[in-house]
């Protein structure tokens, strides 16, 4: 006999990696009573991962603002009037110095973001390839988020030593055009396929708190969990509402919404690094602890995300000590 938690056979889900989840199964998990959900996520997490370990990543915006896209959440879209200072692509030397500082502060993954719609084959891309090479040589996992990529560009990044590529689905396919109209869901999925084909680790997740329904959140998780292979990393961002963007007045999401997203992601994609991403500055220690309990095992460290504030490194050191967490080593998943 199989016992059930929230109507899902526990034996079936706790031991296998599955890519055939139905929306209904995911919804049943998502809506289960909070303590059942937390218990189950924490159990799955311990079966597949070292639950004390949390990956510490650092972000750097290497090209800021002036983006032609219309993503309603984004302070870097040229069409919205925000306080973001536009900056052309940074110099390689400066980026490598920042990576070295991040490494000294305990980060094992360095992620470089550019406010581009897509990568173009030009001098700027050559510079990014140099940055990738340099960070990789330092022994850090190097990640980029540069917008859409062709198969050839993904291959070039791989050859330069790129470890992971971040490209978020952001929300469900159904809600996508309420948030972004300058590209579509299929464009996003094509880039993810190009990244996968180049054998680069896939990082893809989304944002909650943009006015989407819980059905949309479940829809996004369903798309991620039914890709041919689960992304190695899934960031769960709480919207950071930025003045001047169309979503500036959105209400803060509650911790229970973050917990439901993280725990569901953990259960349906057991080995994936689930990242408690944007929004930590507005969370208490206890709220963040609940997210780790739910299976989050990665964070962004350093006092800035791309353009918005993030907790100080010292505060996170204290958080790790308090909760008995330890930073994960680089390249562990290989
Ligand atoms: N331009 C590239 C792209 O869109 O793929 C890369 C950079 S973009 C800023 C990376 C991701 O940051 C977005 O996909 C989105 O999920 C996240 N993001 C941007 N602004 C945000 C905000 N205000 N709150 C939460 N997440 C945000
Ligand atoms: C992700 O999912 N979250 C990070 C990273 N991937 C690139 C970005 C969060 C950005 C928050 C808004 C800002 O700081 O500009
Ligand atoms: Fe541009 Fe990326 Fe911001 Fe969209 S999320 S406006 S593509 S920088």
Q: pLDDT tens for residues 47-97?
A: 999 999 999 999 999 999 999 999 999 999 999 999 999 999 999 999 999
Higher pLDDT, 311 or 334: 311
User: Residues with beta carbon inside 6 Å of ligand 1?
Assistant: 73-74, 76, 113, 115-116, 145, 147, 167-168, 170, 207, 237, 239-240, 242, 278, 306
Cβ-based neighbour number of residue 112 at 10 Å: 26
- Give me ligand 3 centre to Cα 29, in Å: 31
pLDDT of residue 333: 75
DSSP states along 242-283: -TTSTTTTPPPPPHHHHHHHHHHHHHHSTTSEEEE-TTGGGS
Question: Shortest CA distance to 291 belongs to which of 326, 321, 266?
Answer: 266
- Give me ligand 1 centre to Cα 74, in Å: 6
Q: Which ligand is nearest to the CA of 187?
A: 1
Q: Ligand 1 pocket check: which of 66, 237, 258 to mutate, most ligand atoms within 8 Å of Cβ?
A: 237
Tokens representing residue 249 in the block: 């007045």
> Is the pLDDT assigned to residue 158 strictly greater than 80?
yes
Catalytic machinery residues: 67, 71, 74, 111, 143, 203, 275
Per DSSP bridges, beta strands 4-5 and 326-327 are unpaired
Domains of the chain are 52-327 (3.20.20.70)
Q: Ligand 3 pocket check: which of 76, 120, 206 to mutate, most ligand atoms within 8 Å of Cβ?
A: 76
pLDDT of residue 141: 97
- Give me ligand 1 centre to Cα 162, in Å: 19
Question: Shortest CA distance to 25 belongs to which of 268, 271, 273?
Answer: 268
Q: Which ligand is nearest to the CA of 275?
A: 2
pLDDT level of residue 275 (50, 70, 90 thresholds): very high
Chain position carrying tokens 């229970």: 256
Share of the chain above pLDDT 90, in %: 94
Q: Ligand 3 pocket check: which of 71, 78, 146, 179 to mutate, most ligand atoms within 8 Å of Cβ?
A: 71
């Amino acid at each position: 006999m199989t016992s059930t938690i929230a109507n899902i056979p526990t034996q079936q889900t706790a031991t296998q990696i599955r890519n055939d989840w139905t929306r209904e199964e995911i919804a049943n998990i998502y809506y289960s009573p909070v303590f059942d959900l937390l218990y189950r996520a924490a159990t799955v997490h311990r079966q597949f991962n070292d639950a004390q370990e949390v990956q510490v990543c650092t972000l750097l915006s290497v090209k800021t603002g002036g983006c032609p896209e219309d993503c309603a959440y984004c302070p870097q879209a040229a069409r919205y009037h925000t306080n973001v200072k536009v900056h052309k692509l940074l110099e390689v030397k400066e980026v490598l110095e920042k990576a070295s500082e991040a490494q000294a502060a305990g980060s094992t993954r360095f992620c470089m973001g550019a406010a581009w719609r897509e990568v173009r084959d030009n001098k700027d891309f050559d510079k990014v390839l140099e940055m990738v090479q340099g960070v990789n040589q330092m022994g850090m996992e190097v990640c980029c988020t540069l917008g859409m990529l062709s198969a050839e560009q993904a291959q070039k990044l791989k050859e330069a030593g790129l470890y992971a590529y971040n490209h978020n689905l952001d929300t469900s396919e159904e809600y996508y055009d309420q948030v972004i109209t300058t590209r579509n869901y299929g464009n996003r999925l094509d880039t993810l396929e190009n990244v996968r084909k180049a054998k680069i680790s896939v990082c893809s997740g989304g944002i909650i708190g943009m006015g989407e329904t819980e059905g949309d959140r479940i829809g996004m998780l369903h798309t991620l969990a039914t890709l041919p292979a689960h992304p190695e990393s899934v960031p769960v961002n709480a919207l950071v509402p930025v003045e001047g963007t169309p979503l500036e007045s959105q209400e803060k999401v509650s911790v229970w919404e973050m917990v439901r997203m993280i725990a569901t992601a953990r259960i349906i994609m057991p080995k994936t690094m689930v990242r408690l991403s944007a929004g930590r500055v507005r969370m208490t220690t206890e709220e963040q602890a609940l997210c780790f309990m739910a299976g989050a095992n990665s964070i962004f460290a350093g006092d800035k995300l791309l353009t918005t504030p993030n907790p100080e490194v010292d505060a996170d050191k204290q958080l790790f000590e308090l909760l008995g967490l330890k930073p994960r080593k680089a390249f562990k998943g290989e």
